[in-house]
Amino acid sequence: MHTISHHAALIYVMVVISASDGAMTDGELEAIGRRVRTLPVFRDFDPERLVAVAQECAAILQDDDGLNAVLGLAAEALPMHLRETAYYLALEMALTDTSVKLEEIRVIERLRHALELEKLIAAALERGARARYQTA
């Protein structure tokens, strides 16, 4: 298994959630790009590399055990203080199209385990994400 940067790990997390329902929409791709361009954690990341990093992740996902490989790479690359960030990004990606599908929920749960996040922390992040995307 090769090592990836924390930037790549965060992008892999967003890609894996977007792809979990079988397809990545243009809206999801735009949402990933927007986060990479605006979030402080990506300040020292070259946005021109986004497509290449997303394609790397997609290639790994094609393997038989691709999801486990991607989650393992992300967990290995992320320092503890960025694991909550990764989980929150996953939640935001799931909420991008306003309806969270069962496949996304399953992958998010596997991500929580891979990142070794406590249930209470995950629940707080989930509640925050729901509040942010609530509609009238």
**Residue 1 pLDDT > 80, yes or no?**
no
**Residue 68 pLDDT > 70, yes or no?**
yes
Contact at 8 Å (CB) between 131 and 74? no
Task: Quote the CA–CA distance of 48 and 76 in Å, as a whole number.
Answer: 24
The residue-averaged pLDDT of 106-121 equals 96
pTM of the model: 0.93
Contact at 8 Å (CB) between 64 and 88? no
Q: What is the pLDDT of residue 2?
A: 65
CATH architecture of 6-132: Orthogonal Bundle (1.10)
Question: Residue type at 72?
Answer: G
Task: Quote the CA–CA distance of 76 and 13 in Å, as a whole number.
Answer: 12
Report pLDDT digits (tens) over 4-51. 999 999 999 999 999 998 778 888 889 999 999 999 999 999 999 999
- So where are the chain's domains? 6-132
